[in-house]
Homo-oligomer: A and B are copies of this chain.
Amino acid sequence: MTTAAPTSSRDLPHPERTEIRLEAVLHALSDPMRLLVVRELAADGDELSCSHFDLPVTKSTTTHHFRVLREAGVIRQVYRGTAKMNGLRRDALDDLFPGLLDSVLAAAARQAVRLGGS
């Protein structure tokens, strides 16, 4: 259910819903880059390719961050051709930790306003 039929043959390891740990999720979200990615994913709906994000790090590092997010159970990644599409695992997170993701997103938005000014 959680893993739809992949458009490509390559498959990626995702943690089962019961394998997701709060500490891992919090740790994944505690990195500025990853928090930025999650905020953008939440804002733009889902299904965004890795290359859509213009992070101030190399592609190697970007790959690393996406893997951390996937292995923590925060995002779901599916290959579609050469692109790798990313989507928030809202269903699993909201089921396991109700309100957590929204609180973090709201907190991040508030802090962005508070610090960035814009």
Contacts and interface: CB of A to CB of B under 8 A. Distances in A.
A111 B26 contact: no
* Secondary structure call for the A interface: helix
A55 interface: no
A35 B22 CA distance: 10
A104 interface: yes
A23 B31 contact: yes
B107 A22 contact: yes
Contact of A97 (B18, B29, B30, B107): B107
Interface in A93-110: 96-100, 102-104, 106-108, 110
B97 A100 contact: no
Q: Which of A24, A31, A104, A108 has the most CB of B within 10 A?
A: A104
Q: Which of A24, A103, A106, A110 has the most CB of B within 10 A?
A: A103
Interface of A: 18, 21-24, 26-27, 29-32, 35, 96-100, 102-104, 106-108, 110-111, 114
